[in-house]
Amino acid sequence: MEFSFSSKYPFTSEAKQKVEGSSLELNDEMMERAVQRVVTALKGKAEAPLEHGDERGTPYHIHPSDELLELGSYAAARMMLAHLRNRFLINKFAVAEAKRASSFMGKDSEENLRKLGDELGINPQEFEGKLALPVYQYASFSPRSIDYRLIFRNVKNGFVEVTRHEVIRLMEEAVKGKMESYKPLQNPPQIIRDYSQKLMVLVPKETVLKMSFKEGDNPPCIEKLLEGAKAHQNLNHQARLVLAIYLLARNVPVEKVQAIFSNLPDYEDRKTKYQLDHIIKRGYSMPSCATMLSYGLCVADCRIGSPIRWKGKVEPWKKGKGSSS
Please tell me whether residue 25 binds ligand SF4 under the rule CB under 6 A: no
Please tell me whether residue 77 binds ligand SF4 under the rule CB under 6 A: no
Binding mask 269-298 toward ligand SF4 (x if CB under 6 A, else -) reads --------------------x--x-----x
Counted residue by residue, the chain has a size of 325
Single out the segment in contact with ligand SF4 by CB under 6 A; choices: 84-92, 98-106, 116-124, 215-223. Answer: 215-223
Q: Which helix (H) or strand (E) holds 41?
A: helix 28-42
251: left (phi over 0), alpha (psi -120 to 50) or beta: left
Q: In what order do the strands lie in the sheet with 159-161?
A: 125-127, 130-134, 159-161, 155-156
Give me the least distance between CB of 231 and ligand SF4, in Å please.
18
Please tell me whether residue 314 binds ligand SF4 under the rule CB under 6 A: no
Give me the least distance between CB of 212 and ligand SF4, in Å please.
20
Burial of 169 by CB count in 10 Å (0-12 exposed, 13-18 middle, 19+ buried)? buried
The binder of ligand SF4 chosen from 203, 209, 299, 314 (CB under 6 A): 299
Give me the least distance between CB of 225 and ligand SF4, in Å please.
10
* Distance from chain centroid for Cα 133: 22
The residue (of 98 and 225) whose beta carbon lies closer to ligand SF4 is: 225
Please tell me whether residue 245 binds ligand SF4 under the rule CB under 6 A: no
Give me the least distance between CB of 230 and ligand SF4, in Å please.
18
The residue (of 302 and 314) whose beta carbon lies closer to ligand SF4 is: 302
CB atoms within 10 A of CB 136: 11
Give me the least distance between CB of 235 and ligand SF4, in Å please.
15
Give me the least distance between CB of 302 and ligand SF4, in Å please.
3
Give the bridge partners for 2, in sequence order: 61
Residues 6+ positions from 249 with CB-CB distance below 8 Å? 286, 308, 314, 316, 317
Please tell me whether residue 300 binds ligand SF4 under the rule CB under 6 A: yes
Burial of 300 by CB count in 10 Å (0-12 exposed, 13-18 middle, 19+ buried)? exposed
Please tell me whether residue 301 binds ligand SF4 under the rule CB under 6 A: yes
| Angstrom distance (rounded) from CA 84 to CA 105 | 30
Give me the least distance between CB of 243 and ligand SF4, in Å please.
12
126 phi/psi in degrees, rounded to 5 = -75, 130
Please tell me whether residue 227 binds ligand SF4 under the rule CB under 6 A: no
Please tell me whether residue 221 binds ligand SF4 under the rule CB under 6 A: yes
CA atoms within 13 Å, Cβ hemisphere of 21: 6
Give me the least distance between CB of 292 and ligand SF4, in Å please.
4
Please tell me whether residue 81 binds ligand SF4 under the rule CB under 6 A: no
Give the bridge partners for 130, in sequence order: 127
CB atoms within 10 A of CB 317: 18
The residue (of 72 and 219) whose beta carbon lies closer to ligand SF4 is: 219
Please tell me whether residue 228 binds ligand SF4 under the rule CB under 6 A: no
The binder of ligand SF4 chosen from 273, 304, 320, 324 (CB under 6 A): 304
The binder of ligand SF4 chosen from 134, 220, 283, 316 (CB under 6 A): 220
Please tell me whether residue 219 binds ligand SF4 under the rule CB under 6 A: yes
Residues 6+ positions from 226 with CB-CB distance below 8 Å? 211, 213, 218, 243, 260
Which residues in this chain contact ligand SF4 in the complex, by CB under 6 A? 219-221, 289, 292, 298-302, 304, 307, 310
